[in-house]
């Protein structure tokens, strides 16, 4: 019984682990775009994974680490890409950019907290199962606790990793927004001046509104 329980839980954990990962999608050569993260299988049997920096009719230029690789179209067996993520302007955000700002903060916090929670829950369940079969109570308790803690920790770490990735994407988007705003201000300095004028006018109107309310209140008090 305990062996089946452990095997089932570990198998389930493996399935969830695979399900939580980003799925590679096979595409045609013409579907590949700049900043796509690709995994290319070559006719020679070799493979390369990296970020697309340039696409040409006869070759793709890939950035892997700090090196550029030119991959000719004729040498490619198949191409897979990670589903692209886009910013507010419809431009692709590469996995390289995401990883450059991503932390493991949530993965660590979720892993520690989730592991502790899973241990307590699985220990409780193991105790109940052990009570039903006293002849193998020790094995049931240990097996259930170990399997449950492992599975729970994996699930929480996955959730933390997903949150870390989401936060990293938002950081990249915010960085690009600021860059776009700076460019706009340089091209059109009056745009910033107009925004400042609108802000000042809004503050002025709010101040006038407060003064009117104060005056009305004083008039009411005098009438009393």
Q: Annotate 91-118 with b (16+ C-beta within 10 A) or e (fewer).
A: ebbbbebbeeebeeebbeebbeebbeeb
Which one is predicted more confidently, 181 or 192?
181
Q: Is the pLDDT of residue 20 over 50?
A: no
Domain residue spans of the chain:
25-82, 101-184, 188-223
For 25-82, CATH gives 2.30.30.100
| CB contact at 8 A, 88 and 177 | yes
Alpha-carbon span 60 to 53, nearest angstrom: 8
Express each pLDDT in 91-135 by its tens digit. 888 888 999 999 999 989 988 888 888 888 877 776 776 665 555
pTM metric for this prediction = 0.58
Mapping DSSP onto H, E and C, the string for 98-146 reads HHHHCCCHHHHHHHHHHHHHHHHHHHHHHHHHHHHCHHHHHHHHHHHHH
Q: Is the pLDDT of residue 87 over 60?
A: yes
Q: Is the pLDDT of residue 33 over 60?
A: yes
- Report the candidate in 88, 92, 118 with the shortest Cα–Cα distance to residue 31: 92
Average pLDDT across the chain, whole number: 81
Tell me the pairing of strands 76-81 and 92-93.
unpaired
| CB contact at 8 A, 61 and 53 | yes
């Amino acid at each position: 019984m305990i062996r089946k329980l452990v095997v089932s839980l570990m198998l389930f954990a493996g399935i969830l682990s695979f399900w939580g990962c980003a799925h590679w999608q096979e595409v045609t050569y013409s579907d590949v775009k700049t900043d796509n993260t690709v995994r290319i299988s070559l006719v020679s049997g070799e493979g390369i994974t990296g970020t697309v920096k340039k696409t040409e009719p006869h070759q793709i230029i890939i950035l892997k680490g700090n090196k550029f690789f030119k991959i000719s179209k004729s040498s490619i067996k198949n191409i897979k890409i990670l589903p692209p993520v886009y910013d507010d302007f419809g431009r692709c955000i590469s996995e390289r950019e995401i990883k450059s700002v991503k932390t493991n903060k949530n993965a660590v916090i979720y892993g520690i907290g989730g592991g502790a929670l899973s241990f307590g829950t699985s220990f409780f369940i193991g105790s109940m199962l052990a009570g039903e079969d006293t002849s193998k109570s020790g094995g049931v308790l240990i097996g259930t606790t170990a399997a449950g803690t492992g599975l729970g920790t994996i699930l929480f770490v996955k959730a933390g990793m997903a949150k870390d990735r989401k936060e990293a994407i938002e950081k990249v988007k915010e960085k690009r927004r600021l860059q776009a705003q700076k460019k706009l201000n340089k091209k059109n300095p009056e745009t910033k001046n107009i925004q400042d004028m609108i802000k000042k006018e809004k503050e002025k109107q709010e101040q006038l509104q407060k003064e009117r309310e104060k005056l009305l209140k004083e008039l009411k008090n005098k009438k009393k």
